[in-house]
Amino acid sequence: MPTEAILNLAPTASEPLRYSQNRGDILVDSSRANRKFINRRKKLVELLEDRGIQDEQVLKAIETIPRHLFVDTALEDRAYEDSALPIGKGQTISQPYTVAAQTQLLAVRPGDKVLEIGTGSGYQAAVLCEMGAEVYSVERHEELYLKARDLLRDFGYRLQIKLGDGTLGWSAYAPYDRIVVTAGAPVVPEELIRQLTIEGRLVVPVGDHEKQKMVCITRISEDAYEEEHFDSYKFVPLIGEKGWKGDPRG
């Protein structure tokens, strides 16, 4: 049975992000925690700007969030490379450029109700929370769900997250202003389109298991949609009732 977790604490706009220097420890102020990564985050933001990311709120969130806490300790020194990294269960934390590009396409506004399909490490959810979104997230792997739930709780973010089939969306809280899918779909899941508000936007990578085009769908009216296609990416497969029926990678 799907499990829901409501994380009830959120930093205010005037409160600096606080996080745990050692995983599982009591929260410590960011001024005391892992300063060696601050310059790496700044350099990462500069790289993203060079690659065309212009949304200041996206860049600010990426510069703020300690990505090294979302990966295994053995991979911490690679956390600010612009590359995807494994997080277990055959899944990855997307490369920073991919996160930034998807989030920029979403055009998130403070207060927007955003559904994320594929919580994974929790990093994308953290970016959305930093941007002031009201976040709902679905993850199908229990191990990843539990890790992300606990880490996001440690950060003090307020969001709702559940274990379940993301290809079906989360109808209990629909409609959403924005929906982002962090895995590659064989087709656009129609259930997700139905859960958009009018003028809502869905960003989803669509294609085969080798390559996907980033697709942005805007709901114009009750029955009309506008579809745009952007660059190609390679994501892990979106598995579920309205996605891949099994892992196409074998």
Has residue 247 been placed in a domain? no
Has residue 50 been placed in a domain? yes
Answer yes or no: 232 catalytic: no
Has residue 68 been placed in a domain? yes
Has residue 130 been placed in a domain? yes
For range 112-138, the mean pLDDT: 98
Has residue 8 been placed in a domain? yes
Residue 57 has pLDDT above 70, yes or no: yes
For range 105-126, the mean pLDDT: 98
Has residue 122 been placed in a domain? yes
Q: Print the domain residue range for 49.
A: 4-12+35-233
Please pick, among 14, 20, 94, 121, the residue that the annotation labels catalytic.
94
Share of the chain above pLDDT 90, in %: 82
Q: Which CATH number goes with the domain that contains 181?
A: 3.40.50.150
Has residue 244 been placed in a domain? no
pLDDT in tens, 191-208: 999 999 999 999 999 999
pLDDT at 7: 55
Whole-model pTM: value is 0.88
pLDDT in tens, 10-43: 443 333 344 433 333 323 334 444 678 999 999 9
Residue 89 has pLDDT above 90, yes or no: yes
| Three-class DSSP labels, the chain | CCCEEEEECCCCCCCCCEECCCCCCCCEEHHHCCHHHHHHHHHHHHHHHHCCCCCHHHHHHHHHCCHHHHCCHHHHHHCCCCCCEEEECCEEECCHHHHHHHHHHHCCCCCCEEEEECCCCCHHHHHHHHCCCEEEEEECCHHHHHHHHHHHHHHCCEEEEEECCHHHCCHHHCCEEEEEECCEECCCCHHHHHCEEEEEEEEEEEECCCCEEEEEEEECCCCCEEEEEEEEECCCECECCCCECCCCCC
The number of folded domains in the chain is 1
